Amino acid sequence: MNVSPLLSFLQGFRLPREQLPFSENEIEDALRAGWLGEQPGLTRTPRSWRCMRCGNDDPLRFASFPCARCGKNCVYCRKCLSMGRISACTRLAHVSLPLPFERHEAPLAWQGELSPAQAEAAMAVQQAVLDSRELIVWAVCGAGKTEILFPAIAAALEKGWRVCLATPRTDVVRELAPRFRQAFPRVPLAVWHGGSDERGRIASLVLSTTHQLLRAYRVFDVMIVDEVDAFPYSVEPMLEYAVSQARKEQASLIYLTATPSRAWQRDIARGKRQAAVIPARYHGRPLPVPAFEWCGNWRKQLERGRLPENVLSWVLHRLEQRKQAFLFVPHIDELEAVTRILQRVDSRIVGVHAEAPDRAEHVQAFRDGRVPLLVTTTILERGVTVPNIDVAVLGAEDRIFTESALVQIAGRVGRSAAFPDGDVRFFHHGKTQEMVRARRHIIRMNEEARKRGLLRT
């Protein structure tokens, strides 16, 4: 049988009709033949609308325009515009035939060894995948989460299943791609992010960002969601929706997180959700515990062009010792002010925020050791394992620093086996619940690791 070009173009995806490079006739024929299905781009909800592509149902994120296509005042979704506008007159097309599948024999080439804690979790993940279940992998920062997945992915590929690892962050996708290529050298792998030309291709193994995953539809047998609670993406309903649409209904669902939400932590404690907990780093040394230090009304000091004395002396001390450090601040305005002050002390110091265009350059300079201290508003990259660093937060009381954010920040320190320790300091103007919870979270993980004999002493 000849495979229709429309079929092979669209299979595995759900796209607006106007994005299909095929004639109206071909599309209409396929609809009549029954293997092409259509859905409206938006549906009504009691309060407003729901975008069928991205799941947005926030009335503030819809607007309307005089539409030249339908001639009406047409509502559109403002949330997923970067993928092409979805409006009330948009129709989303998908293929309703199952995709052909391919079995891969002994696909895993990775030769490394798992730590005892990793091995235990890897077993649990593999079982969940084979049983098509849901599982949370709660692994501390630096536990070595990626390798834990390898045996499970190999087992799925042997069955001819399609596996997707999704994450909100392009950085992570880019960083993981070469590691997966190396681990599964004979398996077709597609990397989907905004700048990749593989994003229109379905493969046995797919690494995708949230936005690109929105195009996929009912195609994956195994869905792995990485960095579910990664700062600053702690609230990301779009990823959850993308995952729900891209997976097959009976697919297994694996969540990887260092900092599950409080609701999930409760569910796990009550046994309502299953979790594999890895409380120890792969090098077997305990997590550095954050110290709290009051620093007065630091915002007022910033207005006068000064840093609180203890914060400044913390910085000076690192510079003297030639120890690299991150200094986290809550917002961009403060980032600029703090950077200006510190550059008078050492002109090599730079400030980088999440949307800064020259972000990658500065991060590279920091990695190369050319920048002694980086002021930042966000966790930069998961892969930034600068071996020997300290971390401070200025204004740890700010709302933006949730338990999860603070645990992630503390998790930057002591990642490498050669330098497993370091200083984590939360400078604050009034201790918060979230700070206390973050410290308790870390201490509890260390206790659990000790109890299970996972720490090297």
Partner 1 sequence: MNCLLCHSPYNPITNWRQLLFLEDPDVLCPRCRGSFKLIDGRLCEICGRLLEEAAPSLCADCLRWQEDEQWGRVLVKNRSVYTYNDWMKDVIALWKFRGDYVIVEAFRHPFARAFAEHFGRGWHVVPIPLSPERLCERGFNQAEALACLLPFPSFPWLARRHSEKQSKKSRRERMETDNPFFLPGHPPLAGKRIVLIDDIYTTGITVRHAARVLLGAGAAEVGALTLVRA
| Strand (E) or helix (H) holding 391 | strand 389-394
Choose between 126 and 209: whose C-beta lies nearer to Zn ion.
209
Helix runs in 234-358, H state only: 237-246, 262-269, 298-303, 309-321, 332-345
CA-wise closest residue to 224 among 136, 138, 289: 136
Q: Which of 34, 46, 66, 71 binds partner 1 (CB under 8 A)?
A: 66
Choose between 60 and 106: whose C-beta lies nearer to partner 1.
60
CB 23 → Zn ion: shortest distance, Å?
A: 21
Helix runs in 326-432, H state only: 332-345, 359-367, 403-410
**Applying CB under 8 A, which part among 65-73, 108-116, 178-186, 374-382 lies near partner 1?**
65-73
Tokens 């539809």 belong to residue: 217
CB 391 → partner 1: shortest distance, Å?
A: 27
**Which among Zn ion, partner 1, none contacts residue 56 (Cβ within 5 to 8 A by kind)?**
Zn ion
Question: What 3-state class would DSSP assign to 328?
Answer: strand
User: What character string, x for contact with partner 1 (CB under 8 A) and - otherwise, covers 43-62?
Assistant: -----------------xx-
Return the exposure string of 388-407: e unless at least 16 CB atoms fall within 10 Å of the residue's CB, then b. bbbbbbbbbbbebbbbbbbb
**Which among partner 1, Zn ion, none contacts residue 263 (Cβ within 5 to 8 A by kind)?**
none
434 within 8 A of 402, measured Cβ to Cβ = yes
If binding is defined by CB under 8 A, does position 3 make contact with partner 1? no
Choose between 92 and 223: whose C-beta lies nearer to Zn ion.
92
**Which among Zn ion, partner 1, none contacts residue 272 (Cβ within 5 to 8 A by kind)?**
none
If binding is defined by CB under 8 A, does position 68 make contact with partner 1? yes
Is residue 309 packed enough to be buried (19+ CB in 10 Å), middle (13-18) or exposed (0-12)?
A: exposed
Is residue 85 packed enough to be buried (19+ CB in 10 Å), middle (13-18) or exposed (0-12)?
A: middle
CB 74 → partner 1: shortest distance, Å?
A: 8
If binding is defined by CB under 8 A, does position 82 make contact with partner 1? yes
Choose between 87 and 257: whose C-beta lies nearer to partner 1.
87
Q: Which of 78, 91, 179, 437 binds partner 1 (CB under 8 A)?
A: 78
Q: Tokens in use for 306? A: 């000064």
Binders in 86-125 for partner 1, by CB under 8 A: 87
Tell me how far apart the alpha carbons of residues 217 and 10 are, in angstroms, rounded to a whole number.
Answer: 10
Name the residues that contact partner 1, by CB under 8 A. Answer: 60-61, 63-69, 74, 76, 78, 81-82, 85, 87
